[in-house]
Chains A and B, each alone.
Chain A
Amino acid sequence: MPLFWLILIVLVIAAVGYVLGRARAMSSAGGELAALHSLPSYYGANVAMKVVVPAFLLLIVWLLAQPFYVNSVISDMIPETAIEEGSSRGLVLAEVRRAARGLDNAVATGAMDEEFARNARADFADISTRLRDAGQIVTSEISQPILRAAQRYRILNSTGNLIMSVAVILVALFAAFWALRETNAEFRARNVVEQGIKAILIAAASIAILTTIGIVLSLVFNTWEFFRLYPASDFFFGLTWSPSFSGRGSSSQLGIIPLLWGTFYISIVALLVAVPIGLFAAVYLSEYAGPKVRAVAKPLLEVLAGIPTIVYGLFALLTVGPLLLSVFGDEGLGIMQAGTAVMTAGLVMGIMLIPFVSSLSDDIINAVPQAMRDGSYGLGATKSETVRQVILPAALPGIVGAILLAASRAIGETMIVVLGAGAAARLSLNPFEAMTTVTAKIVSQLTGDADFASPVALVAFALGMTLFVITLGLNIVALYIVRKYREQYD
């Protein structure tokens, strides 16, 4: 039975349960609404909730567990001899699944009937011919064990699905029956529904947190794997970055220093652009602009924040790079070789960060109490004197926090760097030279065609982990500063 129908049936049971629960509550109170503990809809919701939640939980667990079970059974069916030299068990299992899917499609198109597809004594040469005729391409000659495994795979899955459907529907029906039985006028349906809602909210929050933990763990394990293949000291202190994809990592030099240098150099250029412009824009918007200007200018500025970074990347590659080249290139000052450079990426990234800095700073400047401004104006200070000497010092911790948050975004930015900064990992002070960053290198390491188990690919995780630790540290410091500042005026 398709999953869609199963879900629909459970929902129908829940809907019927809702109506029945409501009706039963009403009748148990003899039609007197006041005699009920909760509103009738709560009794209905109680029944519906008790149908849907266990049924869907069972469904999810089953869907996650079944492939594991089937795979282990199939895997046991494949003898060691069936695995060719240079291949692996995983590849053979993939072959089995492909064959099973081929059989499914062949049955669906009528090239063979179900009986034939399941026939364990069927001649496998015949089957592979029929599969090929039906357009279900079979990569290599199907061998006897693989065919048998594929047939078993299909049978296991279809029985599994059948049992699952029956079990889910039974659970739903039983839950509906049970929930209806407990429904009477005294039953505290409202409280139970409240508990249920709380549980759903907790589940949502836990999923978010667990995912974060999962991501970090996957980074940690792969990083660990990398450091077993490549010495950590060479990684952290190496001055050269030259991965060798062909040499299986043996001759690769994977020092992170040039990448970190590129990252920080580009981030610093970006912050030098974004911080003054963003801060001045925030001061203008919060202190000088009238309500009408503010109503138009603030959303316009924040539109910048909505532009996808790949578009900024294009802007860097096609507009800013050539523009800089015409001034600083061979026809101009002659210190720039190509359009892709630290300066290009830094400028464009700075533009990207302007709304980030300005909108955070604007909030922080607005949080400075009006009493401070009054006090300053009352002493005969002008607006700029007030901003410079009272408001900015008062808002400084918050602004520093905003800048740190912007910095952690700059460090993690990828697309602008990939398109604007070039791909050469080098240690140089010239901002008009191409450099590259940690993020850009993660992209190129993982999209290269290196073996996934080689240090050349695994280094991506070590890079990611390093980046994660740096930005996490920056974020923690920034949040600490921002929070400490907030307490001052609340």
Chain B
Amino acid sequence: MNEMPSIEQANAMSDSKISANKVQVYYGDTHAIKDVDIEIQPRSVTSFIGPSGCGKSTFLRTINRMNDTIDICRVEGSIKIDGEDIYDPKVDPVQLRAKVGMVFQKPNPFPKSIYDNIAYGPRIHGLARNKAELDDIVSSSLQKAGLWEEVKNRLDEPGTGMSGGQQQRLCIARAIAVSPEVILMDEPCSALDPIATAKVEELIDELRENFTIVIVTHSMQQAARVSQRTAFFHLGILVEEGPTEDIFTNPKDKRTQDYITGRFG
């Protein structure tokens, strides 16, 4: 942290990676996110759970300003990454997104070769000075995503020709390739079968060593398996946030309890 914006924050979470304060999101006239305060720990997995339409994906997308691409969307409050307000006019959202990568619900490889899919980000940001460095980035990203052994002999084949699980790991490798600090995952396993899901979950667990990961999921089992901390959203409000174990075994709020025991959602 370069600066200490307020004493309160410094005291509360001096070591948090992302800190959101009174975040409001509006879609046109709809108030989608209300007063969300959350501190996200570095080098850990935080999962957002909650019923459909509760705003967890919307909130996730405010963290790398993906909501900027939607015309009618408006964000208020402050979100700081390493103490720096990402909604400050000085911040370039394009640069921010290189630092805060994102993996989407449906695997969305570009209609290019596997190699070009991974090399896309590094090329845009000029991370490699020559072909050899680029090759290194591609192979190390694929290795980190656990995909290297499966694809090392067919890097020039189109990424769209892989299986769904491979495509999603390709998208994760693509996000890793630009060396982000934070990776946001929006229901990354919802389009995958159980075996592919298990592989991706394993990967998420490994990535925790180097990245701060925020994952939105519909599966409470998944949240319990991969995350250290869990946040429960309901109707645009952050109801409860805490260590995953506490949320699932000893929720403080009645609504959290109802949701995780399957009474609604």
Residues of A at under 8 Å CB distance from B? 290-291, 369, 371-382, 385, 389-390, 393-394, 488
Contacts and interface: CB of A to CB of B under 8 A. Distances in A.
Contacts of B110: 372, 375-376, 389-390, 393-394
Contacts of B95: 380
Contacts of B104: 371, 374-375, 378
B98 interface: yes
Most chain A C-beta atoms within 10 Å of own C-beta, residue among B104, B110, B124, B125: B110
A381 B94 contact: yes
A295 B111 CA distance: 30
B121 A379 contact: yes
A376 B110 CA distance: 8
B108 A379 contact: no
Contact of A378 (B64, B106, B125): B64
Given A291-B71, A382-B94, A376 B106 contact: no
B190 to A, nearest CB: 13
Interface stretch (B4-12, B19-27, B76-84, B171-179): B171-179
A297 B110 CA distance: 30
Contact of B111 (A378, A385, A393): A393
A377 B112 CA distance: 16
B66 A376 contact: no
B189 to A, nearest CB: 16
9 contacts: A371-B104, A373-B69, A375-B104, A375-B174, A379-B175, A380-B95, A380-B121, A382-B94, A390-B110
A378 B71 contact: no
Contacts of B121: 379-381
Contacts of B99: 380
Contacts of B175: 378-379
B97 A380 contact: yes
B120 to A, nearest CB: 6
Contacts of B171: 375
Given A369-B108, A374-B104, A379 B71 contact: no
A379 B101 contact: yes
A369 B160 CA distance: 13
A381 B101 CA distance: 11
Centre residue among A369, A374, A385, A389 by max chain B CB count within 10 A: A374
A389 B96 CA distance: 20
A377 B111 contact: no
B98 A379 contact: yes
Given A379-B124, A382-B94, A290 B71 contact: yes
A380 B71 contact: no
> By CB atoms of chain B within 10 A, which of A291, A371, A380, A393 has the most?
A380
B102 interface: yes
Contacts of A291: 71
A488 B120 CA distance: 21
Given A369-B108, A393-B111, A380 B125 contact: yes
Contacts of A372: 108, 110-111
Contacts of A376: 110, 120
Given A372-B110, A374-B102, A378-B97, 6 more contacts: A371-B106, A374-B69, A375-B108, A378-B64, A378-B104, A389-B120
A217 to B, nearest CB: 44
A379 B174 CA distance: 8
Interface string B83-127: 000000000001111110111101011111000000011001100
Nearest to A394: B111
Contacts of B120: 376, 379, 381, 389-390
A373 B111 CA distance: 12
A392 to B, nearest CB: 11
Contacts of A382: 94
Nearest to A290: B71
Contacts of B66: 374, 377-378
Contacts of A373: 69
Nearest to B108: A371
A382 B95 CA distance: 9
B187 to A, nearest CB: 13
Q: Give 8 nearest A-B pairs by CB, closest first.
A: A380-B98, A378-B102, A371-B108, A380-B97, A379-B121, A375-B108, A394-B111, A381-B124
Contacts of B69: 373-374, 377
A379 B178 contact: yes
A379 B183 CA distance: 11
Contact of B108 (A290, A374, A385, A488): A374
Interface string B40-59: 00000000000000000000
A69 B181 CA distance: 91
Contacts of A394: 110-111
* Most-contacted residue by chain B among A372, A378, A390 (CB, 10 A): A378
Contact of A377 (B97, B103, B106): B97
Nearest to B123: A389
A35 B174 CA distance: 69
Nearest to A378: B102
A393 B159 CA distance: 14
B204 to A, nearest CB: 17
B63 to A, nearest CB: 11
Contacts of A488: 111
A373 B104 CA distance: 11
Contact of A380 (B103, B109, B111, B178): B178
A380 B98 CA distance: 5
Interface string B148-189: 000000000000000000000001001100100000000000
A488 B98 CA distance: 29
Nearest to A382: B94
B112 A380 contact: no
A213 B66 CA distance: 55
B97 A379 contact: yes
Contacts of A290: 71
A385 B175 CA distance: 16
Contacts of B102: 374, 378
A391 to B, nearest CB: 10
Nearest to A371: B108
B49 to A, nearest CB: 22
A290 B110 CA distance: 25
A375 B82 CA distance: 24
A382 B112 CA distance: 18
A291 B109 CA distance: 28
A289 to B, nearest CB: 11
